[in-house]
Every structure is written in structure tokens, then in C-alpha cells.
Amino acid sequence: MHRFLQSDFFYSFRNAPVAVASFFVFAVIILAAVFANFIAPNNPFDPASLNLMNGFTPPLQSNEFTGDVFLLGADDQGRDLFSTILYGLRISLFVGIMAVMLAMVMGVVLGLIAGYLGGWLDTFIMRFADIQMTFPSILVAMLIYGVAKGVLPPDLRYEMSIAVLIISIGLSEWVPFARTVRGSTLVEKEKEYITAAKMIGLRKSQIMSRHILPNVLGPVLVIATITFALAIIAEATLSFLGVGVPTTKPSLGTLIRIGQDFLFSGEWWILLFPALTLLALALSINLFGDWLRDTLNPKLK
Amino acid sequence: MSGNREMVAPLLEISRLSVVLDKRHQRFKAVDDLSFRVFPGEILGLVGESGAGKSMTGSAILGLIEPPLSISSGEITFDGVRIDQDASSIRGSKISMIFQDPLVSLNPLRKIGDQLVEVIRTHINISKAEAFGRAKTLLAEVGIDPGRINAYPHTFSGGMRQRVVIALALAPEPALIIADEPTTALDVSVQAQILDLLKRLCRERGTSIILITHDMGVIAETTDRVAVLYAGRLAEIGKTSAVLKNPRHPYTKGLVAATPRIDANSFEKRLFQIPGAMPDLENIPKGCAFHPRCDFASTQCQKQQPPLFEDRSACWLSNEGSETS
Amino acid sequence: MLIIVLRRLLQAVMVLLFVALISFLIFRYVGNPVESLLGQEATVAQRAALEEALGLKDPIYEQYANFVLRALQFDFGNSYRGALPVAELIALRLPATLELAMTSAIFAVIFGVITGIYTAINRGGFIANLILSTSLVGVSLPTFLIGVLLIWVFSVELNWLPSFGRGEVVELGWWTTGFLTASGVKSLILPSITLGLYQMTLIMRLTRAEMLEVLRQDYIRLAVALGQSKRQVYFFHALPNILIPVITITGLQLGSVIAFAIITETVFQWPGVGLLFINAVYFVDIPVMSAYLLLVGFAFVVINLVVDLLYLLIDPRLRDGQLKRGAD
């Protein structure tokens, strides 16, 4: 830890106000989400705790029927907006992390295989990647979501929503990982330590996992940060469109959609607070990611 | 210096030119108190190692230097007119330039004919058709088939492209061409051709050349006079034959000795190297910049920067008149 | 050069066939056409008869070939919801999406290139930095959020512009246009900005980067050294050289505009194919989804092809087969 604090990386971090500020904001949001059940006044996902009469209560005002006060107001179902935002963040972050991990595992494995084994396998994987990349990932995610839902029997569709969401986003983002890892693999496999390993008689899978893999993981971290930001936005977008998280467990995207519906009738808080939160989250991730990319870019050194 | 030089007015006069680099509230001199003249019709060589300030001087003359670099003091006068603050009156019209790398000197997306015509018509008020005709003539003069006037740069080899660049430099009919390492990026066999071409065309037109290079061989072959730069300062200046045969400044001696030769005497000898390296901008020694590497350095050399003695050499030792062998 | 064109065309066709394959597989195996047409109460015999009639017992490659042939004749089957032919549904809503896409693309390109060149030329200036900072926000904001916020400001608070729908449209044969009515044009504004903002920031940053890169090149320095004016330098020398990457990225982005239209159409309830698609995903309407995939795939491939060919036109170096370095 001490060594980290002395490192160049930490030094440039300390001296970049944008990086520090965005990291701080991001950290606050994450912590709030993780400790949601301690911070939040109540659990919005528990139908039993909800009182429909609380619906549309403005922020910091006492509800005329129940007398309850909500920090940021209540939405159309009577949920405390503050709690809902926190719990919704949890889901968003969960989906984001799981999706990135899925994309990363799939991308790294395919990249290794394509790079190391070469041949028709390589061509096939890369051509498929090219074709997938011509479509924007959000579209791919929507498509996978639709197909997955179609494959599942109707009764399971609701329960598996989040899993399907993770799979769709994850499967739409594997290509950058694969391409980078493949590139690095192509370089590494010509090096002498690989020839040595082959001569010792290691199997291909061992060579790939024990020798090549550690050496190609470098840029993967950077791609993972970018992909994480994309995944969060993708989840918010899909939830907004109604093809994301289930409506009883709203995430930021869902809340914004609800908020839009009630804009004209004057319940502005349902839109504003989730929007601000999403804005803060998106901006902080992007700014921090930008800074991270610039700092870790070997070309600029 | 030969007497009759003094009678002819210099075409270009650099007087105590200093170019500085502003870095984190400190100023470093890339060119320090440099003075020399260029006369009509002559080829002056500007020689020195990388970083000695020769390209900087060339750029300064044309007003091409940008912050954090700037001209901090001195004057540049062309044909009696000061151009150090504002070079727009002469840029391209009276003074033109040739860069080092022909592969990137030409716009890859424009035909060479169009690029030539553009330059011609910027400075000479003639019709497009006339300009085209002139362009063709120029191409023929630099040894390129005028029929290729509508070709794109990438269809030419490096040497051919440099010929096109020479044509571009000659197109506005300048009085002076600054050639910044024009042959450094070319094959050795092509170098001689290009230099010959440049020399011949300029002699025919009476155009002066400032030939910037690090190659003493090029200096020997092509220039009338030579100015040796070291760490942004003038070390020695004079007629090329004199300077090469009898270098007065220890640095020049080193340069001459270090030039590889192919003659019967030198096969056995090891290549000579001046020990040490030229200091970078931020670490120029006090006094004479060369003294840490100089066999003959005295205490005065360490303390005071020598002026130019006898219009020839900036060395305390030449003041004493003693022969330094 | 002809060989290059032909090769590109062939590649395009291969990709299209592959996309059609995926589309076919989705259509045939994910959906359950028999059940959706007959309902769950159908007898085994009825099902068998329908399967026979629909050709579901034929070998796969035959079914695939039929699928492609039918697609070429614009027959995509019927929607599960309402049993209308998918082709008709799409045709009905295509003009809306295309008009939206076109308007936003024009908006993005014009403003993107202009601001890009401006911020490159005026590097370090106050306005330039302001534009750059705001663009950072534009890139980070998800499209739907931009749309909703725009609605809030301009529809709810200021009441200047409509918040949903296309307004009045005029029928021109098969096409419906919103350009010819005041309400149509007003309805186009917010959605176009929403859809185009991300593209515009992208184009701006790209143009700026390219311009700065080009201005550093030696041939620009030489042009300045030879006395050419700023105008000449920017327009005669710099501009053609930045066009290539700008066109590529713009062209490739055009494709994603069609996809992001889905989000914008949802925000503004714009009756285009995007809204059609998202509803299809929501209701698991397989034929519509598979047809949309085919349509979008076709659009992407065509756009990529056009961009490639434009490239060939602009950069003479590519016409000779590959980028050659001059031999020294």
C-alpha cells in the first residue's frame, strides 16, 4: 500500500483534479449503493412496506394522508425516491460488473484461442467479431435480449430478467477484449519463453493459460473500465426502454421513464433526482476512465 | 576576409540573433547572439551537430518559429528590410525553403502540378494556363518529365520528390533558398545528384543558398563559405576551402578530423571522435560552450564566452595568434 | 481499381448472407410460428398440417434459401401481434425513421465539422475550450437522458416545441413527410438534436484531432514557408486531408444513428421502425425482430460499402491497390 502511494501512478492521480474529483464522486456513489440497506430509510423493493397513498408526495413535505416525509419525494407507487435510487444503483452496478466480467472472460478466452491457435478458428472468430462490431452494441444487446426472452418459457421470463440482461450486455461487449488479447497473443507467442515452454512439452492449454495469459492482461484493465461505463449506460437505457430490469425493481433508467411520464403533471422530482444521479455516475466514470486511459497509455510516455 | 567582399552589400544579414525556449518560467537559448551574412549568388553552409541551432536559425529567418520558441533579440535584415518581426513580405517570394524529408513535404492528395501552380500564383500574378506552362518548364529543369505534371506525389521516388520540392522552391523566383538538410533523408547515390542539381540551378539564376547540414562532406562539395555552429553559437566562419584546410576553432578541427575519408592514408587509422557530447539547451557550460571537450581549454575559456576574432573564429586561442595544431 | 470495387461488393454480399442466416435462425427456431398462429388449443393434426404448409419440414438449407428469396421480395412473414405483414408495418414507419435519421445526421455533420475546425484553429481560445468542455458532457450523457431533459426544458417549461409524435404529415405516394408542415418541422427539432448530439460531439472531436494532426505535417509547414496565406493553407492543403477520416467515421456512424433511433423514438413516441422494434422485443414478436435485423444489417453493409468507395475516390493512393511508399 505504501508503495502504491509512492508510485508514479498515484502521483499523477493526485495532481489531476479532474481525476480526483471524478473518482471521489464515483466512490461515493458506489459506497452509497453497497451500503444501501443501511442508509436507505426503507426497502422499496418490499411490496409490503409500500403505501399507495404515499404516491406523488413532493420532497420534504408531509404526505396529506399518511404524514410520511420523504427526503427526495415519493414516486407513483409511493416508494421513497431516495431509497429507490440507492437500491436501483445496486442493481445497476451489479449488472454492470457481472456484464463486464462476462464480456471479459469470453473476450479474453476467444482472443487467446484465436491468437494462439490461429488458422480457420482465428479467421472465423475474427470475422464474426467484425460483423458483430458493425452493429452498435446496444442493438446487439436488445437483439440478444429479445431472442433470450423468446427462448425462455413465459413463466420464467420475469424471474430471469436480470440474468438475461447481464447476458445480453455481456455478449455485446466481448469484441474489444478479444481483439486486444489476440493482438498481444500474436506478439507473445513468437517470443522465446513460449518456444521454451513448448519444448518442455506443455500442452497448448497450459501454455495459453499459464504463460501467455498473464502477459497479455495489461490493456485489459483499461478496456474493462471503458466497458463498465458502457454497461452501466446500456443497463440504464434498456431499463428506460422497458426491456431491462423488471418494473418492481426499478433502476435509474426505469425511474427516469416514470419521471418522464409525470413531467407534465408537475411531479418534477421523480425525474430530476434519478437523472442527476445517472448524470453524476456517467460523468464520473467517463472522466475517470478518460484519465485512466491517458495515464496508462504507453504511447504517451 | 578577402577585401572585395566588403564592397558588395549582403543579401541577408543576421545580427546578434537569439532564439529562446520558454520552459517552466526559465529561458534557454537555442540560438545565442548569432551573426553572419549571406551575399548574393553565394552558397553558405551552416554546419553543426543535431541540436546546434542550425535548423532553428533557418526557421527564424522565415519567421516560422512558434511559442514556446521565440526570437528574443537581434535583427534579421533582408535587402535592407528588417524581417525578424514580420517575415510575410519575403516568405515564399524572396526567400523560400526546402525541407529534409521529401516523403512528407508534398501534400499527398494534390497533384504536383497543382501544388506548383498554387505556389507560383501566390506570388506572381499570371493566369492559370501560364503558371501551368511555367510549372512544366520547372519540372523539366529539375529533371522530371513534364508529362507527369498531373501525377500524385506517391508515384515518385524520394529523390524525385525532392526534385519537385526544389522546383517548388525555385518557382517564385526567390533571391535566397534555405535548404534544411535537403539530402539527409536520401540514398547516398541520390544525394550527390540532388546537390549538383541544386547548385547548378542556383548558380544559373544567381540565387543564394543557405545549406544546412551536419555532413562535412556535403559542405566540402557544395558550399562557398561555411559557418560552424556549436550549442547555438557561431564557432567559426569563413571560406570553405580555408576553414576545411586550416580550421582554427578546436571544434572545427574535430569535425574535420572526424569526417571519414577514403584515401590511401586513412585506411589504417581509426575513426576520430570528439570526446564527450554537445551539451543540450539546459546545460550549456559557462564561458566557451566547447571548453569541457577541448584539449586546449584555458581558465579564460571556462569563464568568458569568446567573441568572434578576425571575422573567423570564436576562440580565445586565436586571439593569442598561436598555432594550435 | 475495378477489381477492388468488385472485391468489396463480394465481401458485402457475403456479410449480408451471414446476417440473413442469423435472421433466419432467429425467425425459424426462436419463434414458435405454429403456436402463435394456431394458439395452444390446436390439435396435433392441425399443427402437422400447418407445419407442412409453412415448409417447416423441409431441409434447413431449403428453408434458408426460401427465407432469403422471400426477403428479396420483401416478404418477412406476419407479425405475431395483429398478424399484419411485417413488410407493411415496416414500410409504413420507415419514412419517419429515415427523415429523423437524415435530419440528425445533417445536423451532426454540419455542426460537428464547423466546431471541430474552429476549435482546432483557435486552439486554447476561451470559446474553443468552452465548446470542448460541454462536448465532454455530451459524450457522457446517455441518449435517452438528453431527450428527456430536452423535453423538460423546451416542452414542459418553455412550451416551445412538441414533446411527442411527428405532428402533421403529408402523404407523397408511399412516403409520408413531416418536412412540409409547420408542426411536422417543429416535431423534428428535439428528436433530431437528441439523436444527433452524440454523433456531433464525436465528429467534432474527430475533425479537431485530424485538423491538428494535419496542421503539424511538413507539407503544411512548407506551404507556410512558401508564403501561402492561411486561407490557402486551410482549404487547399488541410481540408482534403481531413476529409478522409471524417467521412469514414461519419459514414460508419450513420449506421449507428439508425440503431440509436430506437431510443430516440421511444423517448418521443416517434412512429418509426425503431419504436416498432422495441415493442417487438418487449412482446417477443419474432418476425418483426428478425426482419428488423435484416433491414439494419442491409443498411449497415450498404453504408460501409458506400464509404469504402468514397474513400477510393478521395485518396488517390488507394486506387493503385494499396498505400505505397515511394521507393528511395
b (16+ CB within 10 A) / e for B59-78: bbbbbbbeeebebbebebbb
- Residue in the block written with cell 555552429: B229
Nearest to B10 by CA among B34, B41, B32: B41
pLDDT of residue B324: 45
A102 within some domain: yes
Cβ within 8 Å, pair C260-A142: no
pLDDT of residue A151: 78
Overall number of domains in chain B: 1
Mutate to test the interface with C, among A137, A172, A240 (most CBs of C within 10 A): A240
Instruction: Name every residue whose Cβ is closer than 8 Å to that of residue C19 and which is 6 or more positions away in sequence.
Output: A131, C293, C294, C297, C298, C301
A279 within some domain: yes
Is pLDDT at A218 greater than 50 in this prediction? Answer: yes
Task: Return the residue of B nearest to C326 by Cα.
Answer: B157
Nearest chain B CA: its distance from C224 CA (Å): 8
Q: Is A271 on the interface with C (CB under 8 A)?
A: yes
Is pLDDT at C299 greater than 70 in this prediction? Answer: yes
Q: Is C219 on the interface with B (CB under 8 A)?
A: yes
Per-residue DSSP letter, C102: H
Task: Return the residue of A nearest to C26 by Cα.
Answer: A147
pLDDT of residue B266: 62
Nearest chain C CA: its distance from A180 CA (Å): 21
Q: How many other C-beta atoms are found inside a 10 Å radius of the C-beta of residue C156?
A: 16
Is pLDDT at C320 greater than 70 in this prediction? Answer: no
Instruction: Write out residues 141-160 of A within 8 Å (CB-CB) of C.
Output: 142-143, 145-147, 149-151
Cβ within 8 Å, pair C222-B108: no
Mutate to test the interface with A, among C81, C145, C205, C278 (most CBs of A within 10 A): C145
**Grid cell at residue B59:** 526557421
Nearest chain C CA: its distance from B35 CA (Å): 22
Is pLDDT at C22 greater than 90 in this prediction? Answer: no
A153 within some domain: yes
Identify any residues that bridge with B97 across adjacent strands, giving them in sequence order.
B178
Q: How confident is the model at residue C37 (pLDDT cuts 50, 70, 90)?
A: low
Nearest to C326 among B96, B103, B169 (CB): B103
Number of B–C residue contacts, CB under 8 Å:
94
Overall number of domains in chain A: 1
Question: Cα angle at C196 between C192 and C197, to 5 degrees?
Answer: 115
Task: Return the residue of C nearest to A236 by Cα.
Answer: C142
Q: How confident is the model at residue B84 (pLDDT cuts 50, 70, 90)?
A: confident
Mutate to test the interface with B, among C216, C229, C328 (most CBs of B within 10 A): C328
Per-residue pLDDT tens digits for A184-195: 888 888 888 888
Mutate to test the interface with C, among A18, A123, A132, A134 (most CBs of C within 10 A): A134
**How far is the C-alpha of B164 from the C-alpha of B108, rounded, in Å?**
13
Q: What is the edge-to-edge ordering of all strands in the sheet holding B81-82?
A: B26-38, B12-23, B69-78, B81-82
Instruction: Name every residue whose Cβ is closer than 8 Å to that of residue C321 and which is 6 or more positions away in sequence.
Output: C4
Task: Return the residue of C nearest to B61 by Cα.
Answer: C225
Per-residue pLDDT tens digits for B271-288: 777 778 888 877 888 888
CB A54 within 8 A of CB A65: yes
pLDDT of residue B267: 64
**How far is the C-alpha of C98 from the C-alpha of C87, rounded, in Å?**
16
Nearest chain C CA: its distance from B324 CA (Å): 42
**How far is the C-alpha of A220 from the C-alpha of C324, rounded, in Å?**
34
Beta strands in chain C (DSSP E): 170-172, 175-177
pLDDT of residue C31: 65
Cβ within 8 Å, pair A139-C296: yes
Cβ within 8 Å, pair C289-A136: no
**How far is the C-alpha of C268 from the C-alpha of C254, rounded, in Å?**
20
For all residues of chain A together, what is the average pLDDT?
A: 81
Is pLDDT at C235 greater than 60 in this prediction? Answer: yes
Long-range contacts (CB closer than 8 Å, 24 or more residues apart) made by C180-188: C186/C161, C186/C162, C187/C161, C187/C162, C187/C268, C188/C99, C188/C100, C188/C103
Identify any residues that bridge with A62 across adjacent strands, giving them in sequence order.
A69
The CA-based diameter of chain B, rounded to the nearest angstrom, is 67
One-letter identity of residue C272: G
Which of the other chains make 3 or more beta carbon contacts under 8 angstroms with chain A? C
pLDDT of residue C264: 92
Helix (H) or strand (E) holding C66: helix C60-72
Is pLDDT at C188 greater than 90 in this prediction? Answer: no
B82 within some domain: yes
Instruction: Name every residue whose Cβ is closer than 8 Å to that of residue B186 and which is 6 or more positions away in sequence.
Output: B102, B158, B159, B162, B194, C328
Nearest to A146 among C149, C163, C284 (CB): C284
Cβ within 8 Å, pair A135-C281: no
Helix (H) or strand (E) holding C276: helix C273-282
Is pLDDT at B217 greater than 50 in this prediction? Answer: yes
**How far is the C-alpha of C90 from the C-alpha of C100, rounded, in Å?**
15
Nearest to A283 by CA among C148, C144, C137: C137
Is pLDDT at C325 greater than 70 in this prediction? Answer: no
Side-chain half-sphere of C150: how many Cα atoms within 13 Å?
Answer: 26
**Grid cell at residue A123:** 479467421
Which of the other chains make 3 or more beta carbon contacts under 8 angstroms with chain B? C
Cβ within 8 Å, pair C281-A286: no
Task: Return the residue of A nearest to C296 by Cα.
Answer: A135
Residue C139: list chain A partners with CB under 8 A. Answer: 286
Nearest to A207 by CA among A188, A179, A181, A187: A188
Domain carrying residue B291: 3-40+50-86+214-261+271-324
Q: How many other C-beta atoms are found inside a 10 Å radius of the C-beta of residue A151?
A: 15
pLDDT of residue A133: 83
Nearest to C178 by CA among C272, C262, C111: C272
A291 within some domain: yes
Which ranges of chain B does DSSP label H, i.e. alpha helix? 54-61, 102-105, 112-123, 128-141, 158-170, 188-205, 216-222, 240-245, 250-258, 299-303, 316-320
Nearest to A173 by CA among A244, A216, A225, A113: A225
Secondary structure, 3-state, chain A:
CHHHHHCHHHHHHHCCHHHHHHHHHHHHHHHHHHCHHHHCCCCCCCHHHCCHHHCCCCCCCECCCCCCECCCCECCCCCEHHHHHHHHHHHHHHHHHHHHHHHHHHHHHHHHHHHHHCHHHHHHHHHHHHHHHHCCHHHHHHHHHHHHHHHCCHHHHCCCHHHHHHHHHHHHCCHHHHHHHHHHHHHHCCCHHHHHHHHHCCCHHHHHHHHHHHHHCHHHHHHHHHHHHHHHHHHHHHHHHCCCCCCCCCCHHHHHHHHHHCCCCCCCHHHHHHHHHHHHHHHHHHHHHHHHHHHHCHHHC
The ipTM of this complex is 0.79
Give the lowest-confidence range in B146-150, B151-155, B200-204, B294-298: B294-298
pLDDT of residue B21: 87
Residue A278: list chain C partners with CB under 8 A. Answer: 142, 145
Provide the phi-psi class of B87: left if phi over 0, else alpha when psi is between -120 and 50, else beta. alpha
**Grid cell at residue C257:** 444513428
Compute φ and ψ for A262, nearest 5 degrees. -105, 15
Averaged pLDDT for residues A275-291: 84
Mutate to test the interface with C, among B128, B154, B177, B181 (most CBs of C within 10 A): B154
Beta strands B95-98 and B176-180, pairing class? parallel
What DSSP string runs through C200-267? HHHHHHHHHHHHHHHHTSHHHHHHHHTT--HHHIIIIIIHHHHHHHHHHHHHHHHHHHHHHHHHHHHH
**Grid cell at residue A233:** 449506460
Is pLDDT at C322 greater than 50 in this prediction? Answer: no
Beta strands B225-230 and B233-239, pairing class? antiparallel
Is pLDDT at A64 greater than 80 in this prediction? Answer: no
**How far is the C-alpha of B18 from the C-alpha of B16, rounded, in Å?**
6
Per-residue pLDDT tens digits for B156-193: 988 899 999 999 999 988 999 999 998 888 888 888 88
Torsional sign, CA B21, B26, B32, B33: positive
Nearest to C326 among B96, B158, B165 (CB): B158
Mapped onto helix, strand or coil, the DSSP state of residue C279 is helix
Identify any residues that bridge with B288 across adjacent strands, giving them in sequence order.
none
**How far is the C-alpha of C315 from the C-alpha of C244, rounded, in Å?**
7
> CATH number for the domain including A174?
1.10.3720.10
Domain carrying residue A153: 17-36+78-300
Peptide bond into B68 cis (omega under 30): yes
Q: Is C327 on the interface with B (CB under 8 A)?
A: yes
Residue B172: list chain C partners with CB under 8 A. Answer: 226-227
Q: How confident is the model at residue C327 (pLDDT cuts 50, 70, 90)?
A: very low
What number of residues does chain C have?
A: 328
Give the lowest-confidence range in A188-202, C94-108, C210-224: A188-202
pLDDT higher at A51 or C110: C110
pLDDT of residue B325: 41
Nearest chain B CA: its distance from C192 CA (Å): 34
Q: Is A243 on the interface with C (CB under 8 A)?
A: yes
B148 within some domain: no
Side-chain half-sphere of B111: how many Cα atoms within 13 Å?
Answer: 12
Per-residue pLDDT tens digits for A143-185: 888 888 777 777 777 777 888 889 999 999 999 999 999 988 8
Torsional sign, CA B61, B67, B68, B74: positive
Averaged pLDDT for residues A203-224: 81
B226 within some domain: yes
Nearest chain B CA: its distance from C237 CA (Å): 7
Identify any residues that bridge with B20 across adjacent strands, giving them in sequence order.
B29, B70
Nearest to C192 by CA among C130, C113, C107: C107
Is pLDDT at B42 greater than 70 in this prediction? Answer: yes
> CATH number for the domain including B10?
3.40.50.300
Nearest to C236 among B93, B118, B186 (CB): B118
pLDDT of residue A67: 65
Cβ within 8 Å, pair C226-B109: no
Residue B107: list chain C partners with CB under 8 A. Answer: 219, 223, 237, 240-241
Instruction: Name every residue whose Cβ is closer than 8 Å to that of residue B88 and which is 6 or more positions away in sequence.
Output: B63, C227
Residue B55: list chain C partners with CB under 8 A. Answer: none
Averaged pLDDT for residues A65-82: 74
**How far is the C-alpha of B55 from the C-alpha of B45, rounded, in Å?**
12
Task: Return the residue of C nearest to A135 by Cα.
Answer: C256
CB A265 within 8 A of CB A58: no
pLDDT higher at B81 or C59: B81
Residue A125: list chain C partners with CB under 8 A. Answer: none
A158 within some domain: yes
Is pLDDT at B211 greater than 90 in this prediction? Answer: yes
Per-residue pLDDT tens digits for C254-282: 777 877 889 999 999 999 888 988 888 88
Identify any residues that bridge with B208 across adjacent strands, giving them in sequence order.
B176
Q: How many other C-beta atoms are found inside a 10 Å radius of the C-beta of residue A238?
A: 27
pLDDT of residue B1: 45
pLDDT of residue C285: 82
Is pLDDT at B6 greater than 60 in this prediction? Answer: no
Nearest to A292 by CA among A227, A212, A214, A215: A227
Is pLDDT at C172 greater than 90 in this prediction? Answer: no
Averaged pLDDT for residues C88-108: 88
